[in-house]
Amino acid sequence: MPIDTDKIIFFDTTLRDGEQSPGATMNMQEKFRLAQQLVKLNVDVIEAGFPIASAGDFDCVKNIADNTNGVQIAGLARANKNDIDTAWDALKNGENPRIHTFLATSDIHLKYKLKMTRDEVLELAVASVKHAAKYTSNVEFSAEDATRSDLDFVCKVFSAVIAAGATTLNFPDTTGYAMPDEFGAQIAYLFANIPNIDKAVLSVHCHNDLGLAMANSLAAIKAGVRQVESTINGIGERAGNTAMEEVVMGIKTRPDIHKVTTDIVTEQIHPTSRMVSTITGMMVQPNKAIVGANAFAHESGIHQDGILKERTTYEIMNPKDIGLTSGSLVLGKHSGRHALKDRIASLGYDDLSADQLQQVFARFKDLADVKKDIFDEDIEAIIMDIIFAIPETYKLISLGAMSGNKTMPVTGVKLSVNGEEREGALIGVGPIDAAFKTIAQITNTTSKLLYFAVSSITGGTDAQGEVMVRLQQGDKIIVGQGADPDIITAAAKAYINGLNRAVYLETKHK
């Protein structure tokens, strides 16, 4: 495989490793839509899932591979024949599909997890890569827990799997253990001690347990690595993965240091981040680099004065470069259908169907009757809700709440349950607690609330509140979202959305 010494290949694993975040499970529709957004972002490789993990994961990977153009689709497989065969069955109709197989190389994993010798690991790694190479020339091998492995053994394994047909070698910091200088030195050692390294692309996959995933990834790039595995918003197991947007903008902002290029369409970073947050129910912390709500906000008077005089006094990046709009007023209640359609297209949602556009327009008009100023973020929240709509077993008809420091909080709710109207009212610790209790009573459900978060979609006292909840129902963790100018209503919508997702998932798996 020819190696472009200037370009960094971005391998996105949001759909696989990112989905392993607690509560971040995605359904087929959500995974497919996100894959299409990743194509707009112009990532090089999308790791669509772990096909052997479940029938649902197999179907998701196959659906993406069968129906996605312009990008390599990868599937994860353990180092065994059955995993690799299953991965290929899911991937085989894709464009240049990649089988990504892995095996641990650290002594701690060999002793306690694999219960294998180094010779046995080497033999299995080679056999697995050879088997994968029978299906495709696009084979990646990962040495799990590589940073805590004996480097000479890693070099021996990597050299052997290259000879067996691997074209990408991944050196992951599986536990987020490495320090940047140390990690860079390890990469340099690999280049110096693998004789056939010129026949493969060297990759890294860093975890963020010590907050160093992005720093380690950039150190690896400086040492010669040309593929970075990452996720949008840095989601993933434990403390997450390398955040793609951070590495991309690090490269773009400091070309004097990082003399490499990427094909990422940076203007799609913000829309992609927003979509991942909506799908997974994992809100981006306000002070998160690049995509946090405060990333381009300036509270200090000194900073504001500097920004007004010259943006670069306190901004090293232009918010427009990541697709962040100014949030300025663009539409109001008297705006017409064509103006809204043009604005939707400018936000990157030019692939909505006629029916979806009609739904957006109807919801937009309803919102404009309540909220005078409609911002891009408001429109985007409506679009997301419609794109990821699921059948509504439960539908909110009306809600009324009474609360105060001298008043017993009580909320009345009227729902449609499979088309039948039901209503109730209960007292709670607060109006939201009362709403949730009432909804649970009406729907006869016993979900446990694990997580509740509320944020403002835009500024202003009339801003829509956006609520995300995480519910546990039986052995399933479900995410729900809701938005409304009234925060209690937004919370109720989020709870109901979660219950509808639970019904949908149960129906799909029957």
Q: Which pLDDT band, with edges at 50, 70 and 90, does 43 fall under?
A: very high
What residue ranges do the domains of the chain occupy? 9-280, 325-387, 394-508
Q: What single-letter amino acid sits at 333?
A: K
Determine how β-strand 98-104 pairs with β-strand 139-144.
parallel
The DSSP 8-state label assigned to residue 113 in this structure reads: I
Q: Which pLDDT band, with edges at 50, 70 and 90, does 1 fall under?
A: very low
- CATH number belonging to the domain at 9-280, selected among 3.20.20.150, 3.20.20.70, 3.90.1150.10, 3.40.30.10: 3.20.20.70
Say yes or no: do domains 9-280 and 394-508 share a fold: no
* Mean pLDDT of all residues in 138-155: 98
pLDDT over 90, % of the chain? 70
Q: Which pLDDT band, with edges at 50, 70 and 90, does 510 fall under?
A: low
Q: How far is CA 413 from the centre of its chain?
A: 33
- Specify the pLDDT at position 108: 98
CA 296, 297, 302, 307 dihedral sign is: positive
Q: Which pLDDT band, with edges at 50, 70 and 90, does 152 fall under?
A: very high
Q: Which residues contact 179 (CB under 8 A, 6 or more apart)?
A: 212, 216
Q: 394-508 falls under which CATH superfamily?
A: Alpha-isopropylmalate synthase LeuA, regulatory domain (3.30.160.270)
b/e map 110-132, b = 16+ CB within 10 Å: beeebebeeeebbebbbebbebb
Cβ 329 vs Cβ 373: under 8 Å: yes
What CA–CA distances, in Å, run from 214 to 170, 177, 218, 270, 343? 16, 13, 6, 18, 34
Q: Note the pTM of the prediction, 2 decimals.
A: 0.87
pLDDT over 70, % of the chain? 93
Q: Which pLDDT band, with edges at 50, 70 and 90, does 477 fall under?
A: confident
Coil/strand/helix, residue 158:
helix
